[in-house]
Structure 1
Amino acid sequence: MALIAAVAVVSLLIGVAVMQFIVSPAELAARTAAPEPGPVTAPIEQRTIENTIVSRGEITYADAVEASVDTAGASDRPVVTGHVPEVGAVLQPGGIALELAGRPVVVLSGDLPAYRSLAVGMRGPDVVQLKVALAGMGYWVGDTASDVFDYDTAVALGVLYEQIGYAPAAGGPEAQQMLRDAERGVRDAGTGLAQARAALSQAVDAGATNVIGEQAAVNAASDQLSDAQQLLAEAQEGVLPTLPSSEALFLADLPRRVDAVSVKRGDILSGSPMSVSGATLTIVGSVSQQDAELITEGLTAFFPAPDGTELTATVQRVTAPQTRSTEGAAENSADQSSGGAARYTVELSPGELSPEQIEALRGTNVRLRIPIASTDGEVLAVPIAALSAGSAGEERVELLIDPKSGPDAETENIAVRAGLAADGYVEIASDDPRIEAGVKVVVGR
């Protein structure tokens, strides 16, 4: 009897287990039948909507150039004697980039390289550049629009050399000798004029009726003095400060950072002594023309730091791609028509960074996020699919009033005011108090 009872229990359990896998045709049809049609809904959310352009950018010191010094006109061999900068040093206007044969190579602001030595009386665009550079450092040079190297320019140059601790170049020993000779000539001519005037005075006092000879002597002595004074003025100009081409390093967009140095003390300079770039980090990225039209100078962008924190940068400029003329332009148009449109360049200036961050970020490629429009904090927002247009052109959402059993769900169209749209959501506002966060709206059926 016990065996029979055990077999009965086991059989019952097996039957129950098997029944779990047996489904009737009616039940199977019910399970696989399509659900009752009804509205697809999504809740109204409270969120910040931000229209953002995403790109990538290289972090670098911009505008790297090879610095060059014109040593062809130097009177001595261009031996590097000092002031060799270290990598990372910053070249400021009026600073010393290098010392050659005991003479300074002065850093000045300008695009034109120093291609000739400048002295009083010379004129040209390089003179204007020098005067503007000196004026930018606070020196008085007179009219900066004039292209003449005049007395004021020479004096300003002399003051600059004095402040950096060097005697200015001033014509050399020959010019100094000419000045001494001219000064002696003026003294002699002055003495001769005084003697001629004294002789004329004595003749007049003695009652002489004919003093033509004495007067002629005075006139001749006066002419000699004028000539001597003219020679003195020229000699004085000859010893005014000059700017040898070997002592000037003109660089645009100062200050500049030294990236690499190829010389050391004792070397004879041949070629470029160093390469320099912008003194501050710059982020350079690229965007499409459509995005470029939305980006303006002064916008704040965001990028990640090496430790994951978010850093900021400011848009400095947006540059269109360079256009090519004639045949090149035709090729460019063909490229664009085939989908290869040229990209616009975006330059940004990072915010204040620590030395450690600068070192870690330099040379890296980062993800840039540039918000071009944003709501003022959190607003009511719905998926864009929830927004529709009424018969009068008004914007509206379909509010779920009662879900009921799907097909019989009760809804109502509510007029709203749409705002900023981004990332699939749109800002809404309504005078209807039922439009609030959490309430469901229809996004499809």
Structure 2
Amino acid sequence: MQFIVSPAEIAARTAAPDPGPVTAPVELREIENTVVARGEITYADAVAVSIDAAGGEERPVITGHIPEVGAIFQPGSIALELAGRPVVVLPGELPAYRTLSVGMRGPDVLQLKAALVAMGFGVGDPSSDAFDYDTAVAVGALYEQIGYPAADGGDESRLALRDAERGVRDANTALAQAQAALAEARDAGAPNPIGEQAAVNAAAEALSDAQEALGIAQEGVLPRLPSSEALFLGDLPRRVDEVSVRRGDILSRSPMSVSGASLTITGTFSRQDAELLSEGDVAFYPGPDGEELTATVQSIRAPGAGGSSGSGSGSGDGGEGEDTGAEGGSASGSGGGGDRYTVTFSPGELTPEQIDALRGTNVRVRVPIAATDGEVLAVPIAALSAGSGGEDRVELLIDARGGADAETELIPVEAGLAADGFVEIVSDDPRIEAGAKVVVGR
């Protein structure tokens, strides 16, 4: 009998309800307006490392200091060791393309000086594009700090310095002899010792030339920076993502790739949604164990600004597209692919386990753009109507009376934040309270 339903009961179940207003209760709830999109969690700005192996004097054999994947490059780190010489990581965007030594000028010298200053070394005038004595001393201090002898002109320059020093000594001796001969001639009563005076003048010029040659030779043995020993990278610190060489290899290609040292979340937003965001806004995304993690808006890049706006995967996979856009009606979330803004988030402090689990995943990022201060009175948006003067109002159910003859009353209210189909209301009427019923349809 439990499976048998009488015709009367079927008719009762399918009969139209008694006519009357459709109501919904006034609720106490928090209202939060959010922008939502998909974001890729990656190490940002991956680049292949390029080292000028041809800038060294020896064959570019990798002899040591091969980093492990996950190693962090800071200013002054050693990226590799080539033929027993270090490849030093320095902050800068311009690749090393020539050996820098005393007397050279150019933007690469300016970059080197800025890098040395950032690392705490004195370089004299950092605004000058000249590689001078102070710059050479700073390069020498850098090499001393990392535990390697600084590069200089080599044996040929040291031999030239010895010869120049000998030349100065010989020139000093010749000048002293010429001056003694001149004094002896004058003491002997020679009225006009032209020959002796000419010998003094010639010896003085020879000494000046020898001293100039000594200065040049001294510059030749000052520290210099070979292009094969400098690896300039922007946005340090950097993380080693991949290493493609091993000890004993001859460097002939990129030995490794590096990226930003910390994870980033990159998503794309419509222009309408992006204009609601600001740098520093707090966002939320799910962690590997389902817990809610926080992130911070780091940058907002318009289409075509500073690279392709589509570098992040903001649309998600296939059917995830419904997650893109503003919730609660704050923005439409529409916009073609050419009007997408790239938003980068910093995911905050993460444990190594969380980093391993999150890297390379696509997550739903939620950015609250407005919220009520705790719980407020709220009704479905359909309960709001506009009066003749444009004021907001709700229709309060006073007495149901069986349906068609239900008694209702229009109550003026002040509408607040709207989201998720609800709107905040404020009213001076004490009857507008949690649990009271308002009309949403008939």
Distance 1:433 1:199, change over 3 A: farther
Q: How does 1:9-408 map to 2 (within 5 A)?
A: 21=6, 34-201=16-183, 209-210=191-192, 212-322=194-304, 341-408=338-405
Distance 1:289 1:225, change over 3 A: same
Distance 1:62 1:339, change over 3 A: closer
Moved more, 429-438 or 419-428: 429-438
* Cα distance in 2 between the residues matched to 1:198 and 1:311: 89
- Over the aligned positions, Cα root-mean-square deviation in angstroms equals 2.5
Match of 2:406 among 392, 409, 412: 409
- Give the partner amino acid of 1:346: V
Superposed CA deviations along residues 335-377 of structure 1, whole A, max 9, x for unmatched, are: xx99554422211111100111111111111111111111122
Please say which structure displays the higher CA radius of gyration. Answer: 1
* Cα distance in 2 between the residues matched to 1:174 and 1:28: 108
Deviation (angstroms), 1:44: 1.4
Deviation (angstroms), 1:38: 2.3
Q: Secondary structure at the match of 1:192?
A: helix
Distance 1:436 1:30, change over 3 A: closer
Is residue 437 from structure 1 mapped to residue 422 from structure 2 by the alignment?
A: no
Distance 1:195 1:376, change over 3 A: farther
* Cα distance in 2 between the residues matched to 1:28 and 1:146: 94
Q: Runs in 1 of length 4+ with deviation above 6 angstroms?
A: 27-33
Q: Secondary structure at the match of 2:143?
A: helix
* Cα distance in 2 between the residues matched to 1:160 and 1:81: 21
Distance 1:428 1:214, change over 3 A: farther
Q: Answer whether contact 2:270 2:335 (CA < 8 A) is retained.
A: no
Q: Number of paired residues? A: 411
Deviation (angstroms), 1:212: 4.8
* Cα distance in 1 between the residues matched to 2:96 and 2:201: 48
Q: Secondary structure at the match of 2:290?
A: coil
Q: Answer whether contact 2:105 2:129 (CA < 8 A) is retained.
A: yes
Q: Secondary structure at the match of 1:72?
A: helix
Q: Any unmatched runs of 5+ in structure 2? A: 306-333
Superposed CA deviations along residues 226-252 of structure 1, whole A, max 9, x for unmatched, are: 222211111111111111111111111
* Cα distance in 1 between the residues matched to 2:94 and 2:103: 20
Q: Answer whether contact 2:65 2:80 (CA < 8 A) is retained.
A: yes
The TM-score, its normalising length taken from structure 1, stands at 0.86
* Cα distance in 1 between the residues matched to 2:185 and 2:374: 104
- Give the partner amino acid of 2:268: S
Superposed CA deviations along residues 282-337 of structure 1, whole A, max 9, x for unmatched, are: 111122222111121111111111111111111111222228xxxxxxxxxxxxx9
* Cα distance in 1 between the residues matched to 2:16 and 2:42: 59
- Identity in percent: 74
- Give the partner amino acid of 1:402: D
- Give the partner amino acid of 2:437: K
Q: Secondary structure at the match of 1:69?
A: coil
Moved more, 160-169 or 414-423: 414-423
Deviation (angstroms), 1:412: 2.2
Q: Secondary structure at the match of 2:208?
A: helix
